[in-house]
Structure 1
């Protein structure tokens, strides 16, 4: 199909311009004003709509294979498309873990066959994401892995992390670290502090994150390897990353929408939709994350989309698994609070950079920009019409979100992946 997107407010080269976009043969054929529709083109009137590069999310959990009651490649990628994402990075905590060339290649093929969006595949760092042997970094890269991570588990042994960073660097792979010191967890379920005491549940201290981050920054400096910290949650982590960058250590970092939007004092009670790992931290930590994003310490936003079944999440803070969904609520919740809100903290162009070009730069992904000749990966958003987030409208199998019921602006109207219309709001509501 050929399309002409007319009169949109297009995010182009870090600014918003009124522009038309011509899509031919899966690519952006032209950008300009007053482009005349061709005979074979379907015209989309994007007047008063925001048109952006497809959003890029380097951190999602698709649960497939092994936990398809929670999510599948098909449903997870549909959720991404509904959120305006056209490129996502799939974490390796599936069963079996993609920890060798054959398993990675199989995942790459499954992602291509079943995904609606571009799905980039992580390999694990260690075999089966457990203590012990490292993966063959050169082999998993050749099989199609774009980065390595043990997300869901921290690498507990310093020698293993040192060798992993050296091996990943030699293979030209980014190592994305889930930073969690198991010996300091003490069975915690939410942030240690007044809210945990009020609810009578065990808390997770900040040092679970920061103690391992300090180690990893030192090892990144020792090896020269690119180290990417997943889901930063504490003010101390922001400070350490800021200092590392100032020292020239090759460290990048991401923050989730939920850590930007929520603090532990907002947890209403024994509600597992507010249980994630790392946990929601204090309001002071939340403000530090916002400042760290604004000053460039934190590089990008990633959702950590983590679907679970309703039965699992019905077991309360102590009995439920960690994690919330995020693909379908990321842009609209962030836009509503931080750009359109009564006390704005971000500009729209800042937010779009953190969700498009910035994550692409962190992982050296060819995505996140609109250029003639490039793949037509495009999202269209309605910034004017208020909508209510409804779980029964999610494309994801997981409905575990603390944002259900909120009124937001910025709903996705359409998503194109390589020129194919993979999501359209009107179609989804039929």
Structure 2
């Protein structure tokens, strides 16, 4: 049995706690107000540090599938190294692979590949023009318009025709309207080819589909400030919808990127694009006001050669924790809010699939009640941030195969001090 003492942040409070955990089971066995002396605990963190239940990223692209075609970009091992480097203890991987997981067989074949790593990896199944739900409960991803890979819809009616089969399922939407994208595909810049109007139109359609088919909906990597109004209104009228936002959309804007060279700007290409400063400010305010449910990186590694050619996608796992210190210290976002969007929210998302997947792998049993909470019976996985030790993002410190980050050269006001995964200090 081990004890850790630290200032701890949950969505309800910030308090100094003694947390005991069993290294063998990997589970928390006790949580109480800190009373032990420094000599009486196994791991002690001073006032410069803040401990969270292990942070999770529910939107990443690990690139590995049974084909092995894209593992030069990333694989499950390098993904997990990058995740732990950034203070992330569980991830959820998207399905736009060369061989996408779209049925029981293809899903379980990909799932077997995740067993070789320690970091828990939840898999999304893909929704395409001819797919149907799996026989067990998993999260699904629907690409409303063209993105990386071939798993997408060319028009909204085709999506509607398929979603009728997915009633009551967990469906995440990449919100870019395919018809607007088609109409703008010859524009000069990436931002003009994927205008904000495409995201706004797709948002309205996705919200209607979520309501129509009683889906447990999620809008991915949201970037349009104007669209937040529709999401907030939908939540208020009872639509079961949540929303992600990425570090890059919170940190960068077109105005800031315009100061970089044309080649540097190419490296920031992603779908949906980095928006204007007004959009960025609206997203920050939405986080502060509690309208955002998840901080998710959309970690999408590509080789430098691919980025130079204009391939969309940015890596982000390595810098997750340091970025969070920027939210806390520079943007004055309450650590309780951070606990909600980086620990508890992702934990709830992950945990709801444990019972379904437990029948297919004994590995889940060591996770107890799951992740995201500093409570007895949950995984003894923790992310400890040092709020007094700044970190400059340098290539030599990255664990992703991409060996690039949109934050290269940036200095965050804090850093990841320690990471614990299932009772083990990593």
Q: TM-score category by the smaller chain? A: 0.7 to 0.9
Question: Which 5+ residue runs of structure 1 have no aligned equivalent?
Answer: 127-131, 193-201, 424-430
Give the 3 Å change call, closer, same or farther, for CA 147–87 of structure 1 in structure 2: farther
Once the two structures are superposed, the pairs formed by residues 321-336 of structure 1 within 5 Å of their partners are 321-336=311-326
Corresponding position of 2:225: 235
Q: Is the 8 A contact 1:189 1:279 kept in 2?
A: no
TM-score by length of 2: 0.84
- Between the aligned partners of 1:418 and 1:47, the Cα distance in structure 2 is 22
Once the two structures are superposed, the pairs formed by residues 263-342 of structure 1 within 5 Å of their partners are 263-267=253-257, 268-270=260-262, 271=264, 272-313=266-307, 315=308, 319-336=309-326, 338-341=327-330
Cα drift, residue 37 of structure 1:
9.8
Mapped pair 1:101 → 2:98: no
- Between the aligned partners of 2:152 and 2:278, the Cα distance in structure 1 is 25
Cα drift, residue 363 of structure 1:
5.9
Q: The residue matched to 1:124 in structure 2 has which SS?
A: strand
Corresponding position of 1:134: 131
After superposition, what is the alpha-carbon deviation per residue over 1:328-384, rounded to whole angstroms, capped at 9, x for unaligned? Answer: 212322422x3212xx34112212221111233456644211111222121122111
Question: Which 5+ residue runs of structure 2 have no aligned equivalent?
Answer: 353-369
Corresponding position of 2:345: 358
Corresponding position of 1:21: 19
Pairs aligned (count): 390
Corresponding position of 2:73: 70
- Between the aligned partners of 1:70 and 1:273, the Cα distance in structure 2 is 15
Mapped pair 1:225 → 2:215: yes
Corresponding position of 2:195: 205
- Between the aligned partners of 1:297 and 1:168, the Cα distance in structure 2 is 26
Corresponding position of 2:359: none
Cα drift, residue 154 of structure 1:
4.9
Q: The residue matched to 1:138 in structure 2 has which SS?
A: coil
- Between the aligned partners of 2:344 and 2:295, the Cα distance in structure 1 is 11
Cα drift, residue 321 of structure 1:
0.7
Give the 3 Å change call, closer, same or farther, for CA 420–190 of structure 1 in structure 2: farther
- Between the aligned partners of 1:206 and 1:246, the Cα distance in structure 2 is 24
Corresponding position of 2:176: 180
- Between the aligned partners of 2:275 and 2:189, the Cα distance in structure 1 is 8
Quick check: 360-369 or 281-290, which moved more? 360-369
Runs of 4+ in 1 over 6 A off after TM superposition: none
Over the aligned positions, Cα root-mean-square deviation in angstroms equals 2.4
Cα drift, residue 163 of structure 1:
4.4
1:253 to 237, 243, 247: 243
Give the 3 Å change call, closer, same or farther, for CA 121–42 of structure 1 in structure 2: farther
Give the 3 Å change call, closer, same or farther, for CA 246–42 of structure 1 in structure 2: closer
Q: Is the 8 A contact 2:347 2:373 kept in 1?
A: no
1:407 to 403, 406, 411: 411
- Between the aligned partners of 2:171 and 2:291, the Cα distance in structure 1 is 18
Q: Is the 8 A contact 1:335 1:351 kept in 2?
A: no
